[in-house]
Copies of this chain bind each other. A is one copy, B any other.
Amino acid sequence: MDESYRTAAGQPDQTHESVTLEDVARLAGVTAMTVSRALKRPELVREETRQRVLDAVRSTGYVPNMLAGALATNRSHLVALLLPTIATSIFTDMVQTMMSTLAASGYQTLLGLTGYLREREEQLVHTLLGRRPDAIVLTGTDHSALTRDRLLKTKVPIIEIWDLTDDPIDMLIGFSHEAVGSAVARHLLHKRYRRFAVLSADDPRGMRRSMSIVEELRRHGVENVPMEILPAPATLQAGREGFARLLERGLPDVIACSTDTLAQGILAEAAKRGIGIPQEVAVMGFGDLSTAAHVHPALSTVRIDGAEIGRLAAEALLQRLEGKPSSPAALRVDTGFTIVDRESA
């Protein structure tokens, strides 16, 4: 009987073994409440008892249960971060900066990878909402209708980063991909290139940058710019393949890439084929400041400052979460970008 009853539990015996406030309290000869205060509001507890409590904490190895804490206070100290992928270096600087800034204020980051898929993002938003994050960070501004709805209803602070739009869900920090594209086009025209080509990964923002290049060129009378599109995320190998395909359509003066990684792929394939970069073909990239800074001496590129986006986003969230009740105005920041020419670098 006893035997069968014990095994009836089914799940492995996850004995609730963890030390609780109560355990610490008993050892310190106080109430759970006092222990809680000693840890969170030390100034409310007499020095002596506080010491007894801290000793008890140490000797028991007590670790506060944030699940319970979050449930009781309705503050999870969790920030949900939705990112397309970490397979490309483009976001790494932003992520590192945002995470460490948040961590410094006691917030942890719950990461969700969308793979540039809106349905995935939709599902992730739903699941992550279950953790009751104190804030949500979304990459991009293009979401499913359902996602937007859910998010607009929530009172959770939301930041969309890495893009601009006229109707953000809440806060917004990013830059215009159309502006990047046309700036690239004008830069290349200014440098007197004649025969252009575009190599793009098919992620939404990369495509917008690329299309914007094409359109700006057209506005300046350049038609029929060859363009190759490869599946996201952009990889070295994709860059090599794309370059090979572009070559079949003739050697251009310059190739504009949606990302530095593709540009580097071109460098690799060019080395293999003995094509001189930038003598025979110039290459232009796009990327995060820290990774792009020294990409390759033969490369020009568009730099964006991922770290700044991460820092601004984290600070805006913290302001909203911990700041004074004075209604925090809607935030909208254009972080801009910089064109770095290999010759001027």
From B93, B108, B297, contact of A110 by CB (8 A): B108
- In the assembled complex, the Cα of A108 lies from the Cα of B132 at a distance in Å of 13
- In the assembled complex, the Cα of A7 lies from the Cα of B110 at a distance in Å of 32
**B61–A153 touching, CB < 8 Å:** yes
- In the assembled complex, the Cα of A95 lies from the Cα of B92 at a distance in Å of 13
**A85–B74 touching, CB < 8 Å:** no
**B76–A87 touching, CB < 8 Å:** no
Q: What is the interface residue range for chain A against chain B?
A: 35 or more
**A129–B295 touching, CB < 8 Å:** no
- In the assembled complex, the Cα of A234 lies from the Cα of B294 at a distance in Å of 13
A49 interface residue, CB < 8 Å from B? Answer: no
- In the assembled complex, the Cα of A93 lies from the Cα of B65 at a distance in Å of 32
- In the assembled complex, the Cα of A208 lies from the Cα of B319 at a distance in Å of 43
**A14–B74 touching, CB < 8 Å:** yes
**A237–B294 touching, CB < 8 Å:** yes
Contact residues in B for A126 (Cβ distance below 8 Å): 63
Interface string of A5-17 (1 = CB under 8 A from B): 0010000101111
- In the assembled complex, the Cα of A109 lies from the Cα of B85 at a distance in Å of 14
A264 interface residue, CB < 8 Å from B? Answer: yes
Q: Nearest B residue to A7 by beta-carbon distance? A: B325
Q: Nearest B residue to A112 by beta-carbon distance? A: B108
Copies of this chain, complex-wide, total 2
- In the assembled complex, the Cα of A17 lies from the Cα of B87 at a distance in Å of 37
- In the assembled complex, the Cα of A113 lies from the Cα of B64 at a distance in Å of 21
Contact residues in B for A330 (Cβ distance below 8 Å): none
Given A61-B150, A294-B237, A294-B240, verify A92-B100 contact (CB < 8 Å). Answer: no
- In the assembled complex, the Cα of A295 lies from the Cα of B294 at a distance in Å of 18
**B92–A96 touching, CB < 8 Å:** no
Contact residues in B for A293 (Cβ distance below 8 Å): 237
Closest CB in chain B relative to A164 CB, distance in Å: 25
Q: Nearest B residue to A149 by beta-carbon distance? A: B61
From B65, B87, B128, contact of A96 by CB (8 A): B87
Interface string of A231-272 (1 = CB under 8 A from B): 000011100100000000000000000000000110111011
Q: With a 10 A CB-CB cut-off, give which of A92, A96, A294 has the most chain B CB atoms.
A: A294
- In the assembled complex, the Cα of A272 lies from the Cα of B345 at a distance in Å of 13
A130 interface residue, CB < 8 Å from B? Answer: yes
Given A95-B86, A109-B111, verify A64-B294 contact (CB < 8 Å). Answer: no
**B71–A71 touching, CB < 8 Å:** yes
- In the assembled complex, the Cα of A129 lies from the Cα of B61 at a distance in Å of 11
Q: With a 10 A CB-CB cut-off, give which of A68, A96, A112, A236 has the most chain B CB atoms.
A: A236
**A268–B294 touching, CB < 8 Å:** yes
A interface residues (Cβ-Cβ under 8 A, vs B) = 7, 12, 14-18, 61, 63-68, 70-71, 74-76, 85-87, 89, 92-93, 95-96, 99-100, 108-113, 126-132, 150, 153, 155, 235-237, 240, 264-265, 267-269, 271-272, 277, 290-291, 293-298, 325
| A-B CB proximity, top 6 nearest | A237-B294, A272-B297, A66-B130, A268-B296, A67-B71, A63-B129
13 sampled A-B residue pairs with Cβ under 8 A: A14-B155, A17-B155, A18-B132, A64-B130, A65-B130, A67-B71, A108-B128, A111-B111, A236-B295, A237-B294, A267-B271, A268-B294, A268-B297
